[in-house]
Chain A
Amino acid sequence: MRRIRLIALSAACATIAIAMSISAHIVRGQREESAAGSATAYNPYPPGILPTDLSSEITRVQREVDLVEGRALARWKGLSHPVLTGQPPVLQNIGTEVIETLGELMLYDRTISPPKNQACASCHMPYAGFSGPIPSVNLTMVAFPGTVHFRAGKRTPQRHPYAPFFPVLQYNQTQGLFFGGNFWDSRATGYKLRIPDAEQAQGPPVDTQEMGFPDTACIAFRLSQAVYRPLFEEVWGEGSFDIKFPLETERICATPGGAAVFGGNTTPVPLSAGDRTRANIVYDRWAQSIDSFEQSVQVSPFSSKFDAFLAGKYTLTPDELAGFKLFNGKGNCNSCHLDGRGTNLKSDQADTSAVAMVNPLFTCFGSANEGVPLNPGDAFYYQTKPDSYGFIANPYGFGYRDLGLGSFLRSAFGSGPNPNLNWKQYAPTVDGQMQVSSVRDVASTPPQCPTTEAPGPYFQKAFFHNGYFKSLKQVVHFYNTRDKYAYPVTSGHCPKGTTEKVDCWPMPEVRNNIDMTSGNLGLTDEEEKQIVAFLQTLSDGFTRPYLNSDTYTGACMKGGSAATQGNEHLVETPPLPPCASAICSVAPVPSPSIP
């Protein structure tokens, strides 16, 4: 008994010490935040990585996020109160709208970050098809800045429309393939909530380089203070927030994750076992609510030109139709991006196949390594020094290799813990593989910047996991000529007389398991453009307006050519050190070994 008291006393002292330390640090953190964008911000980057307009663009997106949040609040206020009815009880008539509204309020809530400066939507705005909303970031650093200015993630923000339709990650033993999951590396498996998209929503709030809470309990804490808390309680129950948060919770939750002061502790908010369980339940409800919004007809509405075409209400233009035939035929795109249509079209053949699916998702739910070159513009490579919190995002610098699904199966650096040990053995067969995203909304842009392609006016996006491609023309050209124009160089070092992304493709970041379906398709320049034209028919908002796609207040870009779009910002890849052991030496090791 005495021993227990001593332990309790020690724990209390330790908590007070941590709280005091955090308190002192927060003063420094706040000073840093107020100086975000100035010389005192974390900036380990060489010139050309951080865009010059980064601070003003972050402020611009914050305004837009607040605008949408205001609209969602107004929508909530216009709803009548749901009533549980029947057995089992259902929120009759308006239950769907209520939970989707709750998810929307959460998605645009900036208080779900330590200094209340970043919402989920800060990296996923509707006018960009819920991908990255800052053109200059897409053009340069690729990974979006997080709550601490300027930590940054490692990959492009993945579009989340239709992500809720991905199944729970499973290794299909008959096919010998993985299907499902969310995130580029499928690490949101759905193993627990059984909804990968919901588990995806649990990642960024506690990702050190994104919203960055130090403890999942901080989500419950901030939601307990949210103006829309009554809506949460109407959906999930009155007692949801019966959690005794200690006084120091605000100070702890205002400190970003990864701070040295936490000493690696991922549950620094001291809660009783019962309160911890209740906080975990709120964290799950957060995830389920956001998933409900992302799956809703507001985010995943099947309202594109192509959907209208499937319904017989739109006639594809000659270029769109030609692109569609190439998508199914010579381009072989629909071998992964399944479109629910018949295939085997010849150039003089009309598509008369019966509609196999009226809601094709343009993905096979699998993963593939397309052999994309390493992008040295990715801000992740440069975060090798501690920030003012003592956090280092990437101690390996250019020793980092993105093995995608392979790293996840190994629970290696750069991914998350794999919940299924049986999967680990398959890591060498999937090294370099990234999720086959739905191509729906790949071309979505704000109305005033109607394309992703130069000369525009265009909205600059970044494509694939590392944002190496800056236009859809480049993406299609890569599939078409990756092997034809292959050179044994890294990005920024194409031989004289060649142009990177035009007639020179640097070597793949990961050579293992490269999908060879494409790489030398023999498409003409015109045919590449026609496939792009078809991809543009997949943007939602044609049959009815796409909610909140009118919120972009930034500028469009003009001029140049889609073929070389962004090449003026190419960065020379430094000599690459060997792949870090925390990635490439984790058993079962990649085969062949990765240099």
Chain B
Amino acid sequence: MSRAFAILAIAVLSGILCAQVTPTTEAPLVRIIEGPKIELAKEYLTVISWTTNNPGGSPVHYGVVHYGTDPNRLTETAKSPIRLNPDHPSTVFRVRLDNLKPQTTYYYKVDSMQASGKSDGVKSPVNHFTTP
């Protein structure tokens, strides 16, 4: 037992375990603290961002935006990866929507998921914005 502990300690001290991934505990509930909002709305690029408590889990998470021109049919999906900074209390998700039609109103709601595809179960209302 003590030998196993020693091996573990050596591994940690030599960085073998620390360096590759930065594991964090999954939050029991991931909720939106701020947003979602239209961070940028440009001719060819729209960025939607929101802040949640740090969801933990895989170091790469995806922000997910379901969107469409009909509030009842959000048929399109955009997702963008972000890296969790494990000890930050909150996480900013930012998602790119490329090449939207100009002067068009889009409806959207957001979610996030682990790199494995497991949803964080974020509850989001349907919002809307109009492209320039």
Q: What is A's interface to B at a CB cutoff of 8 Å? A: 165, 167, 172-177, 179, 328, 332, 334-336, 338, 340, 342-344, 356-361, 363-366, 368, 483-484, 486, 488, 507, 511, 513-517, 519-520
Contact = CB atoms under 8 A, between A and B. Distances in A.
Nearest to A179: B20
A344 B18 CA distance: 17
Interface in B80-132: 80-89, 93-96, 98, 114-117
Contacts, number: 119
B6 interface: no
Given A175-B60, A365-B20, A514-B80, A360 B98 contact: no
A357 B18 contact: yes
Nearest first, the 9 A-B pairs at minimum CB distance are A176-B115, A335-B83, A516-B94, A488-B44, A176-B116, A343-B87, A516-B80, A335-B85, A344-B87
Q: Which of A332, A357, A516 has the most CB of B within 10 A?
A: A516
B22 interface: yes
B122 to A, nearest CB: 16
24 contacts: A167-B20, A174-B58, A175-B115, A177-B58, A177-B60, A332-B85, A336-B83, A338-B22, A340-B18, A340-B19, A344-B85, A344-B87, A344-B89, A356-B18, A357-B18, A357-B19, A361-B15, A365-B20, A366-B60, A486-B40, A486-B44, A513-B80, A516-B93, A520-B47
Contacts of A174: 58, 116
Contacts of B42: 486, 488
B45 A483 contact: yes
A484 B115 CA distance: 26
B106 to A, nearest CB: 17
Contacts of B81: 368, 513-517
Contacts of A165: 19
Contacts of A342: 87
Interface string B30-60: 0000000001101111010000000000111
Nearest to B88: A344
B59 A176 contact: no
B4 interface: no
Nearest to A172: B21
B37 to A, nearest CB: 12
A519 B94 contact: yes
Contacts of A484: 40
B40 A334 contact: no
Contacts of B85: 328, 332, 334-335, 343-344
A517 B82 CA distance: 5
A343 B86 contact: yes
Contacts of A516: 47, 63, 80-82, 93-96
Contacts of B13: 358
A155 to B, nearest CB: 22
Contacts of A519: 47, 94
Contacts of B82: 515-517
Contact of A361 (B19, B59, B87): B19
B59 A488 contact: no
A158 B36 CA distance: 39
A332 B60 contact: no
Given A366-B60, A488-B43, A511 B96 contact: yes
Given A357-B18, A365-B19, A366-B59, 9 more contacts: A172-B21, A176-B116, A343-B88, A361-B15, A363-B19, A483-B45, A483-B94, A516-B94, A520-B47
Q: Which of B13, B59, B63 has the most CB of A within 10 A?
A: B59
Contacts of A520: 39-40, 47, 94
A517 B44 contact: no
Given A332-B83, A340-B15, A520-B47, A176 B60 contact: yes
A574 B110 CA distance: 38
Contacts of A357: 15, 18-19
Contacts of B115: 175-177
B15 A359 contact: yes
Nearest to B16: A167
Given A356-B18, A366-B60, A520-B40, A175 B96 contact: no
